């Protein structure tokens, strides 16, 4: 009789514990990412006015330092019409002038506060669902994006994005030409997400989080203001009102391991970053020029989630694309290229240097830094690949960098949307 009572008690306790430890429907594991590939959004900036193609020293905006160039190649534009002359905008000063241009970079850490349906704090197995970005700030600052390393395009150690630019303009630049980032960590922000707009994976010890999947609409609604009138209700608005964002710098929203899905369905993931421009009307204080805030968001990526992507791969992807195309074709002139079909199957008609390489067997380029950590910035396609230039005028005639063997040949001429 006592044995039966004891067995019954143990059974009830076991059932109770199983209930308490049951996995929530929106809790996922690493296996949920099996077979999925990481990509990068082309953020749709608000309409802006970027000036004329022939202006040498940048577009007609109150924005960061940039210069314009053009190239000639046969292709079709975004409407399928034949075009021969194409225009580019690039961060920094023209390579023929030489010298060092410093671009301030505001790093805005963004943690994720995963709330319940009613907006209350959410706990799973006694652990609050709060994904803190703090542990990833120092590693990013110590990465090749902001610290110097050795590259074949520079006699002196330099930063990753500068090394890429120097490879592109190696036969046009003065030897002392550099464009360097000066990072400054600003006030950390918190993005609240309501249950139903995210899925989460816990760490092995049960704490939050190994990674989070976020609905893209909920993410962008929390990141940006609902209109051009900025208030403190969004991450961008709060940072701008605090003076942490200006038109003269690159704004970098750094997240923990968060990836977006579209269409309200986590099966349609995973975006690992985007870049674009936030536009606002000018006034008498800036000669009534439209203000253009160049920005991107990128997550820190743990090893093992996506083949070829680790630590700062997405950060490097977005910054390299900003350097080559800061205004994301917003004016219908700059950054538009002949249509291309990349080795990874991506199709485009714009100067997105990272999209050409992402997902290839040698997506990243390992670099060991003085802190002893080996980082994995992304190899990117060079400008001359988009120009359909043969032979290439880059360093060593390459079409990709730092690994010059990732992209070795041009795309065949493509029709509108590659005929898809």
Judge residue 345's burial from the number of C-beta atoms within 10 Å of its C-beta, 0-12 exposed, 13-18 middle, 19 or more buried: exposed
- What is the overall mean pLDDT for the chain? 91
For residue 207, is pLDDT > 90?
A: yes
Is pLDDT above 50 for 216? yes
Q: Which residues contact 281 (CB under 8 A, 6 or more apart)?
A: 228, 290, 291
Helix, strand, coil % in the chain, rounded to nearest 5:
20, 35, 45
pLDDT in tens, 260-311: 999 999 999 999 999 999 999 999 999 999 999 999 999 999 999 999 999 9
Instruction: Give pLDDT, residue 152.
Output: 98
Q: What is the pLDDT of residue 213?
A: 98
Q: Are 401 and 395 in contact (CB under 8 A)?
A: yes
Residue 180 to residue 92: CA distance in whole angstroms: 9
On whether the CB atoms of residues 400 and 407 are closer than 8 A, the answer is yes
Using alpha carbons, select from 223, 160, 154 the residue that is nearest to residue 193. Answer: 223
Q: Contact at 8 Å (CB) between 80 and 415?
A: yes
Question: Hey, which residues does 192 pair with through a beta bridge?
Answer: 113
DSSP state of 121: B
- Cβ 331 vs Cβ 49: under 8 Å: yes
Q: Can the peptide bond before residue 402 be classed as cis, meaning omega within 30 degrees of 0?
A: yes
pTM summary value? 0.92
pLDDT for 43:
55
pLDDT digit string, tens, across residues 317-361? 999 999 999 999 998 999 999 999 999 999 999 999 999 999 999
């Amino acid at each position: 009789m006592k044995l039966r009572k004891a067995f019954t008690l143990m059974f009830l306790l076991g059932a109770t514990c199983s209930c308490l430890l049951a996995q929530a429907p929106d809790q996922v594991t690493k296996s949920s990412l099996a077979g999925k590939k990481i990509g990068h959004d082309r953020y749709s900036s608000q309409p802006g006015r970027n000036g004329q193609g022939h202006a040498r020293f940048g577009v007609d905006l109150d924005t960061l330092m940039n210069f314009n160039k053009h190239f000639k190649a046969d292709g079709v534009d975004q409407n399928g019409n034949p075009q021969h002359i194409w225009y580019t905008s690039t961060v920094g000063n023209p390579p023929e002038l030489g010298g060092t241009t410093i671009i301030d970079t505001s790093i805005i850490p963004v943690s994720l506060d995963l709330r319940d349906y009613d907006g209350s704090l959410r706990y799973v197995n006694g652990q609050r669902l709060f994904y803190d970005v703090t542990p990833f700030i120092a590693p990013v600052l110590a990465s090749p994006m902001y610290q110097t390393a050795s590259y074949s395009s520079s006699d002196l150690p330099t930063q990753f994005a500068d090394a890429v630019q120097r490879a592109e303009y190696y036969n046009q630049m003065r030897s002392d030409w550099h464009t360097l980032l000066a990072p400054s960590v600003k006030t950390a922000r918190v993005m609240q997400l309501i249950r139903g707009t995210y899925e989460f994976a816990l760490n092995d010890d049960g704490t939050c989080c190994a990674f989070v999947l976020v609905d893209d609409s909920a993410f962008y609604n929390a990141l940006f203001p609902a209109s051009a009138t900025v208030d403190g209700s969004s991450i961008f608005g709060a940072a701008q009102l605090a003076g942490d964002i200006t038109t003269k710098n690159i704004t970098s929203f750094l997240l923990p391991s968060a990836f977006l899905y579209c269409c309200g369905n986590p099966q349609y993931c995973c975006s690992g970053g985007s870049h674009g421009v936030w536009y606002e009307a000018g006034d008498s204080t800036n000669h009534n020029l439209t203000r253009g805030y160049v920005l991107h968001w990128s997550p820190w990526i743990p090893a093992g989630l996506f083949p070829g992507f680790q630590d700062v791969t997405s950060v490097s992807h977005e910054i390299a694309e900003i350097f080559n195309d800061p205004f994301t074709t917003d004016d219908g002139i700059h950054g538009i290229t002949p249509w291309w079909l990349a080795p990874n199957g991506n199709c485009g008609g714009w100067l997105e240097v990272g999209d050409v390489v992402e997902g290839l067997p040698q997506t990243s380029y390992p670099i060991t830094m003085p802190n002893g950590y080996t980082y994995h910035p992304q190899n990117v396609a060079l400008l001359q690949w988009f120009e359909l230039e043969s032979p290439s005028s880059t360093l060593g005639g390459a079409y990709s960098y730092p690994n010059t063997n990732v992209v070795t040949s041009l795309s065949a001429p493509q029709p509108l949307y590659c005929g898809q």
